[in-house]
Amino acid sequence: MKHERCKSLFGEDFSKLQNANIIILGVGGVGGHALDCLYRSGVENITIVDFDNYDESNQNRQIGSENIGAVKVEHLQSLYPNIKTINTRIDVQWVKENDLSSYDLILDAIDDIYPKIELIKKYYKKLISTSGSAKRIDPTKIEYISIWKTYNDPFIRKIRNYLKKDNFKAKFKVIFSGENPQCKDKGSFVGVTGSFGLAMCSIAINKILSK
């Protein structure tokens, strides 16, 4: 059976995964692996949102990126039948105009600062968000910690500072690596970006099972 081993692990709670309704924002090097993990674990109601087409530079880390030029969400739908897709750019206006409250969990794997800030302020109670995964080579440094305790990450520091300016003081955790960046350019390693996505999936599954 397709999910026999998942059912053996999760027992009667497996039905919670089947019935969960999850949206993934951004399906690149992190979000694509979160999608793969959730889909293989039995989550049947998944919506993905992205606007990008695959290019050659994606091939070191993104699922489906061998199809250069393909619309990312459309190609992923061919790999993961029955998922729902939204082909659009996620910006601040999109976050403000779209109501995501009907989803059980929102997985934020985008790398744009301002829409990420808006997502945190609006949906922090059901949001699973990532900090920077690029420029790192050690997946054992990945943690799920308070955003207020993050360090060594200029990307999440900017988000933290903006949240403080907006008087956001709630408890909120992010998937984070304290590893020192190993390069200055856009270097990335699927051993870390993929691990961020798998950590995101694992956290989502544990949240679903605990309900």
Our measurement of the distance from residue 65's CA atom to the centroid of its chain's CA atoms, rounded to an integer in Å, reads 17
Q: Which residue has the tokens 């990945």?
A: 142
The residue type found at 156 is: I
Residue 2: what pLDDT?
A: 84
Residue 59: what pLDDT?
A: 93
The domain of 34 spans 4-134+189-209
Residues paired with 197 in a beta bridge: none
Q: Which residue has the tokens 């709670």?
A: 13
193 within a domain of the structure (yes/no):
yes
176 within a domain of the structure (yes/no):
no
Task: Specify the CATH number for the domain of residue 38.
Answer: 3.40.50.720
Tens digits of pLDDT across the chain (211 residues): 789 999 999 999 999 999 999 999 999 999 999 999 999 999 999 999 999 999 999 999 999 999 999 999 999 999 999 999 999 999 999 999 999 999 999 999 999 999 999 999 999 999 999 999 999 999 999 999 999 999 999 999 999 999 999 999 999 999 999 999 999 888 999 999 999 999 999 999 999 999 8
Q: Please tell me the pTM assigned to this model.
A: 0.96
Count of C-beta atoms within a 10 Å radius of residue 127: 21
Q: With contact defined as beta carbons under 8 Å apart, do 100 and 128 qualify? A: no
Half-sphere exposure (Cβ direction) of 133: Cα atoms closer than 13 Å? 31
15 within a domain of the structure (yes/no):
yes
> How many structural domains does the chain have?
1
3-state secondary structure of 176: strand
29 within a domain of the structure (yes/no):
yes
